[in-house]
Amino acid sequence: MSNTFKIVLVLVGLALVVPFVPGLIYPVFVMKVMCYGLFACAFNLLLGFTGLVSFAHAAFLGSAGYVTGALMIRFGNHPLGMPAAFAAGVAAAALVGLAIGGLAIRRRGIYFAMITLALSQIVYFLAVQFRWTGGEDGLQGIPRGSLFGLDLSSDTVMYYVTLALFAAGFLFVDRVVHSPFGQILQAVRDNEARATSLGYDTDRFKRLAFVISAAVAGYAGAMKALVFQLVSLNDVSLHTSTEVVLMTLLGGVGTIFGPLLGAGLVVGLQNYLATIGDLVTVVIGLIFIVCVSFFRRGIVGEFLHLRRRRAERHKRRPVRNATRDPAPAAEAA
Amino acid sequence: MAEHALVTEGLTKAFGGFTAVRGVDFAVRRHAIHALIGPNGAGKTTFFNLLTKVHTPTGGRILYEGTDITHESAAAIARRGIVRSFQISATFPHMSVRDNVRVALQRRLGTQYAFWRSIRSLSVLDDEAMALLSDVGLADSAEANAADLSYGRKRTLEIATTLALDPPLLLLDEPTQGMAIDDVDRIKRLIRRIAVGRTILMVEHNMSVVADLCDTITVLQRGEILAQGSYDAVSADPGVKAAYLGGGHA
């Protein structure tokens, strides 16, 4: 059993008892953290493990939310309505991802990021213009429907379903990172020219990574639409796209659990500091400045770095000798 | 099979009004170690980049084993077996030394797009990766991050990664550049050893390396071939002397 799997088990175990202690922590708050946490994990798959900065992730979150929401409003009563609408939302996000990623991947670095930004603004514009998205009003009162006969209108049932969906999504992202495909993604991130010279079509890898990331962001968006029974323009806005950058950097880019922790912190601050109104943005902004100035690896990243350095200090001497010795095997050859 | 592994016919590359490589007819004999030398700005790197498809030629053809590869992508020619190294060391710095080699071996499994499979499916390659590493003397650093290796060892790792593809044609871009003298000797021995059964074309400034290793030398100047032949023949060429001493305006 991998360490990741153990930690997920512990987290799920803790999350299981949340509905029994509503005085301590609201289940709705935990569901929100799970939605944004998975969203940040999807984003991190690109930024942390492929080396691509996208400002389009709200477009994926939102388009899945709109599709799932609109379908639920029409077919929510059907016994298979919820899984079908959910799957359609994920598929829609993947398609939007294919369109945006396919175009943006022709350019690199800041140009790549700007193309994703421009195209996601088109998605925002469409969300305002279309009638089925509800324009300025968004989609409200989305029915949750039922899953395998379980009525999801109860918050407790929805909570456990969300938890299961979240765990599955999270483990999926972990699998993608730790897969043969994930290895090539890391190679592309580390040194794209070298990956090409080894015979890998790096654009194809980046495009697939982009689509997977968009699909997972959509998965989080579909979850969110059902949990809050609401999809609004905020979900496709640039603000949401930048918030996910903040969550990922704060928690630790390129780590498995960092984005989840970052999402928890940002959502927590927004929730528990809601009384100070707009000042929340100032607080979060200050935290962000501290983060990028003093612990650029993010919270989980710094923790892992410290642990690695401590482990290295234990075996420093033999390692150093090994690097100094001219390689004996090559000498003999 | 043709006598030559790699042939260029009238290869030309112009950047706007500047022609960096002009009508180069060039051939590398199979299983030879062939050096490409020339003063700075002679077009060596551009020529190399044309061969590895970093740049697209504006004229002429490139033939590999008789097949026209002029318009193939960089990744496609790598899959044909033409693998290049880079002027600055090209490793995957945040991956372990073993994983660096394994990434190259992985292509053979054909699972490079399998995002749903466990990374453990790659452990079948571990023994082979370790064998390649001990072959070049890096087995003791297998678990270290590539970024933590010394410069010379990074270049050695790069060669091990390249060998993992078992390429028939190796293109080495200044393999000993910036190396300490011990490392240069080690890389020299390594190149001689891996050249068995392979064709090697290298750009190199270090004349002792060129003299010791290479069968044939091509001298480029201002994008054109100035001289070609054995080390002795080329170094006796008056045109080459002039070019290197800076006096020649041929």
Chains A, B: CB pairs < 8 Å = 139
Optimal mutation site among A175, A185, A194, interface B, most CBs of chain B within 10 A: A194
pLDDT given at position B245? 67
- Closest approach of B150 to chain A, Cα-based (Å): 7
CA proximity to B135, closest of B155, B159, B152, B154? B159
Residues B99, B68 share a domain: no
CA proximity to B105, closest of B121, B76, B128, B86? B128
Max intra-chain CA distance, chain B: 63
Model confidence at A1, in pLDDT bands (50, 70, 90)? Answer: low
**Residues paired with residue B4 on neighbouring β-strands, in sequence order:** B29
Residues B186, B62 share a domain: yes
Residues of chain B with pLDDT under 70: 1-2, 245-250
Domain that holds residue A59: 27-321
Residues B131, B175 share a domain: no
CA proximity to B170, closest of B122, B120, B220, B204? B204
Residues B104, B84 share a domain: no
Rg (CA), chain A: 21
In total, how many domains does chain A have? 1
In a domain, B65, yes or no: yes
Q: Alpha helix (H) ranges present in chain A?
A: 3-17, 27-47, 57-75, 81-104, 109-129, 155-177, 180-190, 192-197, 202-228, 238-251, 258-272, 279-294, 298-314, 316-324, 328-332
Q: At what angle do helices B151-164 and B126-136 cross, to 10 degrees?
A: 130
DSSP class of residue B71? T
Calculate what percentage of chain A has a pLDDT beyond 70.
94
Q: Alpha helix (H) ranges present in B18-107?
A: 44-51, 74-80, 97-106
**Cα–Cα distance between A201 and A209 in angstroms, integer?**
13
Domain that holds residue B240: 4-90+169-245
CB A273 within 8 A of CB A280: yes
**Cα–Cα distance between A36 and A269 in angstroms, integer?**
13
First-to-last alpha carbon distance for chain A, in angstroms, is: 41
A300-328 pLDDT per residue, tens: 999 998 988 888 787 665 544 444 444 43
CB B66 within 8 A of CB B73: no
Distances (CA, A) of B126 to A124, B97, B101: 48, 11, 9
pLDDT given at position A323? 44
Asked whether the beta carbons of residue A329 and residue B135 sit closer than 8 angstroms, the reply is yes
In total, how many domains does chain B have? 2
Residues B184, B83 share a domain: yes
In a domain, A110, yes or no: yes
In a domain, A15, yes or no: no
Q: Which of A176-185, A276-285, A291-300, B50-59 has the least mean pLDDT?
A: A276-285
Regarding beta strands B33-37 and B4-15, do their DSSP bridges make them parallel or antiparallel, or are they unpaired? Answer: unpaired
A258 against B89, higher pLDDT: A258
CB B64 within 8 A of CB B167: no
- Closest approach of B227 to chain A, Cα-based (Å): 30
Domain at B209, CATH number: 3.40.50.300
A145-180 pLDDT per residue, tens: 888 888 888 888 999 999 999 999 999 999 999 999
Q: Does A2 touch chain B (CB under 8 A)?
A: no
Residues B194, B104 share a domain: no
Of A194, A199, A202, the CB nearest to B92: A194
Q: How buried is residue B44: exposed, middle or buried, by Cβ count under 10 Å (0-12/13-18/19+)?
A: buried
**Cα–Cα distance between A260 and B197 in angstroms, integer?**
52
**Cα–Cα distance between B123 and B119 in angstroms, integer?**
8
Distances (CA, A) of B129 to A42, A134, A213, B120, B146: 31, 57, 31, 15, 14
B16-71 pLDDT per residue, tens: 888 899 999 989 999 999 999 988 888 888 898 899 888 899 999 999 998 999 99
In a domain, A262, yes or no: yes
Residues B130, B10 share a domain: no
CA proximity to B45, closest of B75, B2, B86, B105? B86
pLDDT given at position B2? 67
Q: Looking at beta carbons, which residues of chain B come within 8 Å of A319?
A: 144
Q: Looking at beta carbons, which residues of chain A come within 8 Å of B76?
A: 199
Q: Does A140 touch chain B (CB under 8 A)?
A: no
Residues B113, B12 share a domain: no
In a domain, A79, yes or no: yes
pLDDT given at position A119? 95
Residues B144, B188 share a domain: no
Residues B121, B61 share a domain: no
**Cα–Cα distance between A276 and A291 in angstroms, integer?**
22
Residue A5 has pLDDT above 80, yes or no: yes
Distances (CA, A) of A323 to A259, A274, B80: 35, 54, 35
Q: Looking at beta carbons, which residues of chain B come within 8 Å of A187?
A: 92, 95, 103
In a domain, A59, yes or no: yes
pLDDT given at position B17? 84
Regarding beta strands B33-37 and A146-147, do their DSSP bridges make them parallel or antiparallel, or are they unpaired? Answer: unpaired
Q: Which residue has the tokens 């002029």?
A: B70
- Closest approach of A220 to chain B, Cα-based (Å): 19
Residue of A nearest to B83 (CA): A197
A17-43 pLDDT per residue, tens: 888 887 778 888 999 999 999 999 999
CB atoms within 10 A of CB A64: 34
Of A180, A319, A328, the CB nearest to B117: A180
Q: Does A194 touch chain B (CB under 8 A)?
A: yes
Q: Which residues contact A78 (CB under 8 A, 6 or more apart)?
A: A84, A145
Optimal mutation site among A3, A172, A179, interface B, most CBs of chain B within 10 A: A179
- Closest approach of A118 to chain B, Cα-based (Å): 29
What are the two backbone dihedrals, phi and then psi, of residue B104, each rounded to the nearest 5 degrees? -70, -40
Asked whether the beta carbons of residue A180 and residue B91 sit closer than 8 angstroms, the reply is no
- Closest approach of A231 to chain B, Cα-based (Å): 30
In a domain, B14, yes or no: yes
Calculate what percentage of chain B has a pLDDT beyond 70.
96
In a domain, A12, yes or no: no
Q: How buried is residue A151: exposed, middle or buried, by Cβ count under 10 Å (0-12/13-18/19+)?
A: exposed
Q: Does A234 touch chain B (CB under 8 A)?
A: no
Distances (CA, A) of A158 to A79, B46, B120, B136: 16, 61, 35, 58
Residues B142, B116 share a domain: yes
What's the complex ipTM? 0.84
Q: Looking at beta carbons, which residues of chain A come within 8 Å of B73?
A: 201
In a domain, A156, yes or no: yes
- Closest approach of A148 to chain B, Cα-based (Å): 26
In a domain, B37, yes or no: yes
Structure-derived torsion over alpha carbons of residues B216, B190, B148, A256, reported in degrees to the nearest 10:
90
Q: Does A51 touch chain B (CB under 8 A)?
A: no
Asked whether the beta carbons of residue B119 and residue A194 sit closer than 8 angstroms, the reply is no
**Residues paired with residue B9 on neighbouring β-strands, in sequence order:** B61
Q: Does A1 touch chain B (CB under 8 A)?
A: no
B-contacting residues in A 163-182 (Cβ below 8 Å): 175-176, 178-182
Q: Which two tokens stand for residue A98?
A: 């294919």
CB B52 within 8 A of CB A197: yes
Residues B86, B9 share a domain: yes
Domain at A168, CATH number: 1.10.3470
Q: Looking at beta carbons, which residues of chain B come within 8 Å of A50?
A: none
**Cα–Cα distance between B188 and B204 in angstroms, integer?**
12
- Closest approach of A319 to chain B, Cα-based (Å): 8
Helix (H, G, I), strand (E, B) or coil at A327: coil
In a domain, A333, yes or no: no
What are the two backbone dihedrals, phi and then psi, of residue B224, each rounded to the nearest 5 degrees? -130, 160
Q: Which residues contact A215 (CB under 8 A, 6 or more apart)?
A: A42, A60, A90, A91, A93, A94, A97
First-to-last alpha carbon distance for chain B, in angstroms, is: 38
